[in-house]
Amino acid sequence: MSNALVSRISPFVEVAKQLLLELEQQANASLDTLSRGNGTEFLAAVERRDAIIDELSRVTEALAHERTHFGGGSHEERREVEALFAKMSDAANGALASHERLVARATETRDKLGVAVRKADQPDTIATQYAATMPGIRQSLLSVTG
Protein backbone atom coordinates (compact mmCIF):
# COMPACT_ATOMS: atom_id res chain seq x y z
CA MET A 1 0.00 0.00 0.00
CA SER A 2 1.17 3.50 -0.59
CA ASN A 3 -0.05 6.85 0.56
CA ALA A 4 -1.94 6.82 -2.72
CA LEU A 5 -4.51 4.53 -1.11
CA VAL A 6 -4.91 6.87 1.84
CA SER A 7 -5.41 9.76 -0.56
CA ARG A 8 -7.90 7.68 -2.61
CA ILE A 9 -10.03 6.56 0.34
CA SER A 10 -9.92 9.80 2.35
CA PRO A 11 -12.57 11.56 0.23
CA PHE A 12 -14.90 8.56 0.51
CA VAL A 13 -14.43 8.44 4.27
CA GLU A 14 -15.16 12.16 4.55
CA VAL A 15 -18.34 11.83 2.45
CA ALA A 16 -19.41 8.80 4.48
CA LYS A 17 -18.85 10.70 7.74
CA GLN A 18 -20.89 13.64 6.42
CA LEU A 19 -23.72 11.34 5.35
CA LEU A 20 -23.69 9.61 8.72
CA LEU A 21 -23.92 12.99 10.42
CA GLU A 22 -26.84 13.92 8.16
CA LEU A 23 -28.47 10.62 9.01
CA GLU A 24 -28.11 11.37 12.73
CA GLN A 25 -29.53 14.87 12.26
CA GLN A 26 -32.41 13.51 10.19
CA ALA A 27 -33.24 11.01 12.96
CA ASN A 28 -33.44 13.90 15.41
CA ALA A 29 -35.69 15.82 13.01
CA SER A 30 -37.87 12.72 12.67
CA LEU A 31 -38.14 12.54 16.46
CA ASP A 32 -39.33 16.14 16.48
CA THR A 33 -42.05 15.38 13.95
CA LEU A 34 -43.20 12.46 16.08
CA SER A 35 -43.38 14.77 19.09
CA ARG A 36 -45.58 17.17 17.14
CA GLY A 37 -47.77 14.31 15.93
CA ASN A 38 -47.39 15.23 12.27
CA GLY A 39 -47.57 11.96 10.33
CA THR A 40 -47.02 13.59 6.94
CA GLU A 41 -43.82 15.30 8.07
CA PHE A 42 -42.66 12.09 9.73
CA LEU A 43 -43.11 10.09 6.51
CA ALA A 44 -41.26 12.80 4.55
CA ALA A 45 -38.41 12.66 7.09
CA VAL A 46 -38.26 8.87 6.77
CA GLU A 47 -38.08 9.21 2.98
CA ARG A 48 -35.19 11.68 3.33
CA ARG A 49 -33.44 9.19 5.62
CA ASP A 50 -33.92 6.48 2.99
CA ALA A 51 -32.32 8.72 0.36
CA ILE A 52 -29.34 9.39 2.65
CA ILE A 53 -28.98 5.66 3.31
CA ASP A 54 -29.03 4.95 -0.45
CA GLU A 55 -26.30 7.51 -1.02
CA LEU A 56 -24.30 6.14 1.92
CA SER A 57 -24.59 2.66 0.42
CA ARG A 58 -23.06 3.87 -2.84
CA VAL A 59 -20.21 5.58 -0.97
CA THR A 60 -19.44 2.51 1.12
CA GLU A 61 -19.46 0.34 -2.01
CA ALA A 62 -16.91 2.68 -3.61
CA LEU A 63 -14.90 2.66 -0.39
CA ALA A 64 -14.95 -1.13 -0.29
CA HIS A 65 -13.80 -1.23 -3.90
CA GLU A 66 -10.85 1.04 -3.08
CA ARG A 67 -10.10 -0.95 0.05
CA THR A 68 -9.70 -4.15 -1.99
CA HIS A 69 -6.51 -2.61 -3.30
CA PHE A 70 -5.17 -2.52 0.24
CA GLY A 71 -2.30 -4.97 0.14
CA GLY A 72 -0.78 -4.55 3.53
CA GLY A 73 1.70 -1.72 3.28
CA SER A 74 3.89 -0.40 5.99
CA HIS A 75 2.90 -0.17 9.60
CA GLU A 76 2.50 3.60 9.29
CA GLU A 77 0.29 3.27 6.21
CA ARG A 78 -1.94 0.71 7.94
CA ARG A 79 -2.25 3.02 10.95
CA GLU A 80 -3.37 5.89 8.71
CA VAL A 81 -6.06 3.76 7.08
CA GLU A 82 -7.18 2.40 10.47
CA ALA A 83 -7.40 5.97 11.81
CA LEU A 84 -9.61 6.97 8.87
CA PHE A 85 -11.91 4.01 9.45
CA ALA A 86 -12.01 4.69 13.19
CA LYS A 87 -13.30 8.20 12.52
CA MET A 88 -15.93 6.82 10.19
CA SER A 89 -16.83 4.20 12.79
CA ASP A 90 -17.39 6.92 15.39
CA ALA A 91 -19.77 8.70 13.03
CA ALA A 92 -21.55 5.40 12.33
CA ASN A 93 -21.98 4.79 16.06
CA GLY A 94 -23.64 8.20 16.45
CA ALA A 95 -25.97 7.52 13.53
CA LEU A 96 -26.83 4.08 14.90
CA ALA A 97 -27.60 5.47 18.36
CA SER A 98 -29.93 8.11 16.89
CA HIS A 99 -31.57 5.47 14.71
CA GLU A 100 -32.19 3.27 17.75
CA ARG A 101 -33.79 6.22 19.59
CA LEU A 102 -35.98 6.89 16.56
CA VAL A 103 -37.07 3.26 16.29
CA ALA A 104 -37.88 3.11 20.01
CA ARG A 105 -39.91 6.33 19.85
CA ALA A 106 -41.74 5.32 16.66
CA THR A 107 -42.58 1.94 18.22
CA GLU A 108 -43.84 3.64 21.37
CA THR A 109 -46.00 6.02 19.31
CA ARG A 110 -47.35 3.17 17.21
CA ASP A 111 -48.24 1.19 20.31
CA LYS A 112 -50.02 4.18 21.91
CA LEU A 113 -52.01 4.76 18.75
CA GLY A 114 -52.91 1.07 18.59
CA VAL A 115 -54.21 1.17 22.16
CA ALA A 116 -56.25 4.28 21.36
CA VAL A 117 -57.78 2.61 18.30
CA ARG A 118 -58.65 -0.53 20.24
CA LYS A 119 -60.09 1.57 23.05
CA ALA A 120 -62.21 3.56 20.58
CA ASP A 121 -63.69 0.29 19.33
CA GLN A 122 -64.87 -0.64 22.83
CA PRO A 123 -68.34 0.41 23.91
CA ASP A 124 -68.35 3.27 26.41
CA THR A 125 -69.71 1.89 29.72
CA ILE A 126 -71.03 5.22 30.99
CA ALA A 127 -72.82 5.95 27.73
CA THR A 128 -74.20 2.41 27.71
CA GLN A 129 -75.49 2.76 31.28
CA TYR A 130 -77.00 6.15 30.47
CA ALA A 131 -78.69 4.76 27.39
CA ALA A 132 -80.08 1.88 29.39
CA THR A 133 -81.79 4.28 31.80
CA MET A 134 -83.31 6.49 29.12
CA PRO A 135 -86.61 5.25 27.73
CA GLY A 136 -86.82 5.13 23.97
CA ILE A 137 -83.08 5.55 23.26
CA ARG A 138 -81.49 2.63 21.57
CA GLN A 139 -78.30 1.56 23.26
CA SER A 140 -76.44 0.96 20.00
CA LEU A 141 -76.94 4.55 18.80
CA LEU A 142 -75.35 6.30 21.77
CA SER A 143 -71.58 6.54 21.73
CA VAL A 144 -69.23 9.05 23.27
CA THR A 145 -66.39 8.11 20.93
CA GLY A 146 -68.26 8.48 17.70
Length of the chain: 146
Domain ranges in the chain are 3-112
Confidence at residue 129, expressed as pLDDT on a 0 to 100 scale: 73
Where residue 26 falls among pLDDT bands split at 50, 70, 90?
Answer: very high
- The string of pLDDT tens digits covering residues 47-78 is 999 999 999 999 999 988 887 776 556 778 77
- What is the C-alpha separation between 38 and 102, in angstroms, rounded? 15
Confidence at residue 55, expressed as pLDDT on a 0 to 100 scale: 97
Contact (Cβ atoms closer than 8 angstroms) between residue 139 and residue 128: yes
pLDDT, mean of residues 76-87? 87
Bigger pLDDT: 134 or 104? Answer: 104
Q: Is the pLDDT of residue 106 over 80?
A: yes
Give this prediction's pTM. 0.72
Question: If DSSP codes are grouped into helix, strand and coil, which group holds residue 54?
Answer: helix
Contact (Cβ atoms closer than 8 angstroms) between residue 48 and residue 26: yes
Question: If DSSP codes are grouped into helix, strand and coil, which group holds residue 56?
Answer: helix
Integer angstrom CA distances of residue 59 from 70, 117, 125, 133? 17, 42, 58, 70
Contact (Cβ atoms closer than 8 angstroms) between residue 46 and residue 30: yes
The letter for the amino acid at 35 is S
Q: What is the mean pLDDT of the chain?
A: 83
Question: If DSSP codes are grouped into helix, strand and coil, which group holds residue 119?
Answer: helix
